[in-house]
Chain A
Amino acid sequence: MNFFDRFFLKLFLLAAPGLQKMNVNMDHLKAILVAKLTMDNRRPAAFQQMRASKEKKELNQATLKTMFVSLVMGLFFLMSFAIGNDITTKLTFFFSMFIFMLAATLITDFTSVLIDTRDNLIILPKPVNDATFVTARLIHIAIHINKLLLPMAFPALIALIVLAGPKSIIPFILMVLFATMLSIFLVNAVYILILKITKPSNFQSVISYFQIAFAIVIYGSYQLLPRMMSKMGVETMKVSDLHNISYYPPYWFADACNSISIYSFETRNIYNLVLAIGIPLISIFVVIKYFAPAFTRNLSMITGSTEEIKIKAVSKNESITYKQSWIEKLANTLTSGSTEYMGFLFTWKMMGRSRDFKMKVYPGFGYLIVIIAMMMLQNNSASLADFREMTERAKSMFIVFLYFGSFVVLSAIGQLPYSEKFKAAWIFAITPIDAPGKLLSGALKSIIICFYIPIILLFSLFGIVIIGPTILPNLVLGCFNVLAISSLIAFMTLRKLPFSVSSQDASRNKTTSRNFLTMLVPMILGGIHWLIFDFKWAVVILAVLAVAATMMILDSIKNLSWAKIENFDVNR
């Protein structure tokens, strides 16, 4: 526990007399909260989960880190004070960002606070009454929210005091409180929705998709918002002039905050004030009355074992017919020999099912889309007509898009050795695999099929429809250059079997120089491609060479011997 935990704990325990009347055992409550807060402090929150760095000693200050990140976000929100020329407009943007970020953060890291199934076996067998247990959970959640909330709102409070004077302090704090209630409602609504549309056992993986989407949105808004804002000339806008703005919750909070601090109570202000206070109160009532009970009912099923495993009836005399799935057929055509075939299928299935892997690699796709969007938004971006005529500008963009896919493939290759279930890799050590390279080449082919082929197919379709078949040689060259680069980098850097190393090691082994190298090679090849783009024969010849190179490198990977594989210790 650190200063903030102790402070919040003291603050909430001020309510002790009231709680005791509700039959809450204060000793139990305090013991549970102390343990929970200590654990929070040692557990990385959502932001850090996205990154690989999980070095043990850093975790001790997880709370401070989370608060620091929230503070950085709070500073980022200050951007909203550059928008518009009245306080209400500025605050509307602030509350939009605030509600979005708070809700998104809570959605992604609430699970660890809310769902700890170990409670069932550790706390519930002890003589703790329900009131105490529920209160402990509520206070824990409240402290958790406060730790995010205060640093997020603090910079804006200071900015507001500077802009509008100290009279705005109290209305601002009140409105932040109501906005928080609305965020909690949103989070709960999303949870309930997820539970409605999927099985409780899938809950955690749906949440991790949210985390991925969250990372992409953050990255996107960081890249795009400032550009868009300068484009739209928002410095002078006034939100109250906009139609339909009165349906937009952040505007209620902003206007209510402003009208209280300047004592202006026109009909419009009163209407907003009522909404700003009324809607959050109603929504929090809905949460307590309907959402929370429904959620608790499902809680135990999220990781519980109550779900029955259906046993398929097998009649005794039924002969076993083996039917190949499409991916098995594909694996069959692309690989030779059972080791490579299994390497392909194993990697395919692990990539699709391991949450860890998805969390690390899928955001890359999102970043790709953001970067493409960014280039499109630039003033000097190429139009479709440019592409048809292949102007210089269109050529550059074409090359960038074509080679960008390699980053996704390379990040998947970089992530391939890591898994939470790395110990299971003993199967590779005890089975008679003559050349582990076959596993690796199978894995690489799997990565290419999964992460690159969809991109290049989409892109080729675009190219052929817009530009025409004359673009084909360039497409082939680009595609096989990317494949050759990926294979080459896999050949040089893959020294560990797929999913055989603890994911905690993932951050330690990556050196920046290698990262730089992997960024540099596609850029250099892309540059060369750009130079020869219009020389048809050069492109064709190089394309043939690229295809041959890819084949050769893939073959060399297959022949990698055990001597090239770094020892992996199964028992670690």
Chain B
Amino acid sequence: MEPIISIRNLYKNYGSKQVLKDISIDIYPGQVIGYIGPNGAGKSTTVKILCGLISDFSGQVTIKGFDIKQNPLAVKSIIGYVPELAELYDVLTPNEFLSLVGALYNLPPEVAAERGKGMLEAFGLAGNMDQRMDTFSKGMKQKVLITSGLLHNPDIIILDEPLAGLDANSVIIVKELISKLADSGKTIFYSSHMMDIVEKVSDRIILINEGTVVADGSFEELKQKQGDSSLEKIFAHLTSTESMGEASGKLMDILGNK
């Protein structure tokens, strides 16, 4: 099978600081990739490169056969991106925002309106479609963002911490949505810090640390290789120089507790 996302020898510097060092990954249709790593490991840089937000990298990134540097627009139209931290124009209403997004993805206005309405209804936001989002809670904004990322029915969905601020019921909806999307052949790139969820939703986990891939495989494979029982432990094992127990012990000492 042809990989839908192919990253070859990817390097990226910010000034003198090297954020990504020789990353090569092949991702196949229908995979749910859990992309994890500590703060500053290069996760969001990778995500931004895949979305076409950063173009001054070296190496080759092809998505569905399109080279991202040569054909950024073709790539962008098959990707749905859900950024973190509720980045949206919050003085607009969900309706207005989704019609903007729909137009930018070249959807006919009726289609965008219909899909947007249906999806927001499913998220329980039917009554808020014409309210300005500046009064929304984090979770409500996140639901609008997820809707905006899926509106054009993309082949690849890139999620950056998509569950932030969502209540337990919405988390279940999104988790099930992810596996259903994957079943229907969509590729999901899931970047997150929530190990327990990554462990459950993804069928392949890629762990990066200091700009390089340090582990790549299914949760079962990683468990066997590392001999740890949970993703959390595998993560700690591979990315931390000193043991967590030592650090928490130190913290206790400072407070004078034994």
CA distance A122 to B79 in the complex (A): 13
Return the contact of B53 from the options A118, A125, A306 (Cβ within 8 A). A125
> When each residue 342-379 of chain A gets 1 if its CB lies under 8 Å from chain B and 0 otherwise, what string results?
00000000000000000000000000000000000000
**B92, A122: Cβ atoms under 8 Å?**
no
**A121, B104: Cβ atoms under 8 Å?**
no
Cβ of B136 under 8 Å from chain A: no
**B91, A126: Cβ atoms under 8 Å?**
no
**A124, B104: Cβ atoms under 8 Å?**
no
**B103, A28: Cβ atoms under 8 Å?**
yes
**B103, A125: Cβ atoms under 8 Å?**
no
Q: Which of A32-40, A200-208, A537-545 contacts B (4 or more CB under 8 A)?
A: A32-40
**A30, B103: Cβ atoms under 8 Å?**
yes
CB B110 to nearest CB in A, in angstroms, measures 14
**A121, B73: Cβ atoms under 8 Å?**
no
Q: Smallest CB-CB separation from B15: which chain A residue?
A: A308
**B88, A126: Cβ atoms under 8 Å?**
no
A59 neighbours in B (Cβ, 8 Å): 91
Cβ of B81 under 8 Å from chain A: yes
**A127, B100: Cβ atoms under 8 Å?**
no
A residues 461-506 in Cβ contact with B at 8 Å: none
CB B252 to nearest CB in A, in angstroms, measures 18
**A125, B73: Cβ atoms under 8 Å?**
no
> When each residue 117-132 of chain A gets 1 if its CB lies under 8 Å from chain B and 0 otherwise, what string results?
0101111111111000
Cβ of B21 under 8 Å from chain A: no
Q: Is the interface of B mostly helix, strand, loop or mixed?
A: mixed
CA distance A129 to B104 in the complex (A): 10
Return the contact of A127 from the options B14, B17, B77, B99 (Cβ within 8 A). B77
> When each residue 531-551 of chain A gets 1 if its CB lies under 8 Å from chain B and 0 otherwise, what string results?
000000000000000000000
Q: Smallest CB-CB separation from B91: which chain A residue?
A: A42
Q: Smallest CB-CB separation from A29: which chain B residue?
A: B103
Cβ of B76 under 8 Å from chain A: yes
A30 neighbours in B (Cβ, 8 Å): 103
**B53, A27: Cβ atoms under 8 Å?**
no
**A126, B105: Cβ atoms under 8 Å?**
yes
Cβ of B101 under 8 Å from chain A: yes
Cβ of A438 under 8 Å from chain B: no
B89 neighbours in A (Cβ, 8 Å): 35, 39, 118, 122
CA distance A194 to B52 in the complex (A): 31
Most chain A Cβ neighbours within 10 Å, of B17, B77, B92, B103 = B103
Q: Smallest CB-CB separation from B14: which chain A residue?
A: A306
B73 neighbours in A (Cβ, 8 Å): 127-129
A122 neighbours in B (Cβ, 8 Å): 87-89, 101
**B74, A31: Cβ atoms under 8 Å?**
no
**B83, A121: Cβ atoms under 8 Å?**
yes
Would A308 and B14 be within 8 Å (CB), given that A121-B87, A127-B77 are in contact? yes
B20 neighbours in A (Cβ, 8 Å): none
CA distance A522 to B91 in the complex (A): 43
A residues 20-68 in Cβ contact with B at 8 Å: 27-28, 30-32, 34-35, 38-39, 42-43, 59
Cβ of B51 under 8 Å from chain A: yes
CA distance A306 to B54 in the complex (A): 12
**B103, A38: Cβ atoms under 8 Å?**
no
**B53, A38: Cβ atoms under 8 Å?**
no
B101 neighbours in A (Cβ, 8 Å): 122, 126
Return the contact of B106 from the options A34, A125, A127 (Cβ within 8 A). A127
> When each residue 74-115 of chain B gets 1 if its CB lies under 8 Å from chain A and 0 otherwise, what string results?
101101010100011101100011011101111000000000
B87 neighbours in A (Cβ, 8 Å): 118, 121-122
CA distance A361 to B184 in the complex (A): 59
Would A31 and B77 be within 8 Å (CB), given that A120-B53, A124-B52, A308-B14 are in contact? no
Q: Smallest CB-CB separation from A305: which chain B residue?
A: B44
> When each residue 121-153 of chain A gets 1 if its CB lies under 8 Å from chain B and 0 otherwise, what string results?
111111111000000000000000000000000
A43 neighbours in B (Cβ, 8 Å): 91
**A35, B81: Cβ atoms under 8 Å?**
no
B residues 102-150 in Cβ contact with A at 8 Å: 103-106, 132
**B99, A31: Cβ atoms under 8 Å?**
yes
CA distance A88 to B83 in the complex (A): 57
Would A127 and B105 be within 8 Å (CB), given that A34-B100, A118-B88 are in contact? yes
A residues 87-134 in Cβ contact with B at 8 Å: 118, 120-129
**B51, A35: Cβ atoms under 8 Å?**
no
CB B55 to nearest CB in A, in angstroms, measures 10
CA distance A227 to B92 in the complex (A): 46
B99 neighbours in A (Cβ, 8 Å): 31
Q: Smallest CB-CB separation from A129: which chain B residue?
A: B73
Given contacts A39-B89, A122-B89, A125-B53, 14 further A-B contacts (CB under 8 A): A28-B104, A30-B103, A31-B99, A31-B103, A32-B104, A38-B96, A39-B91, A118-B89, A121-B83, A121-B87, A124-B52, A125-B79, A126-B104, A127-B105
Jot down 23 A-B pairs with beta carbons below 8 A, ordered by A. A27-B103, A27-B106, A30-B103, A31-B99, A31-B103, A35-B89, A35-B96, A38-B92, A38-B96, A42-B91, A42-B132, A43-B91, A122-B87, A122-B88, A124-B53, A125-B83, A127-B72, A127-B76, A127-B77, A127-B104, A128-B73, A129-B73, A308-B17
Binding site for B on A (CB under 8 A): 27-28, 30-32, 34-35, 38-39, 42-43, 59, 118, 120-129, 306, 308
Binding site for A on B (CB under 8 A): 14-15, 17, 51-53, 72-74, 76-77, 79, 81, 83, 87-89, 91-92, 96-97, 99-101, 103-106, 132
Shortest 3 CB-CB contacts between residues of A and residues of B: A31-B103, A126-B104, A127-B76
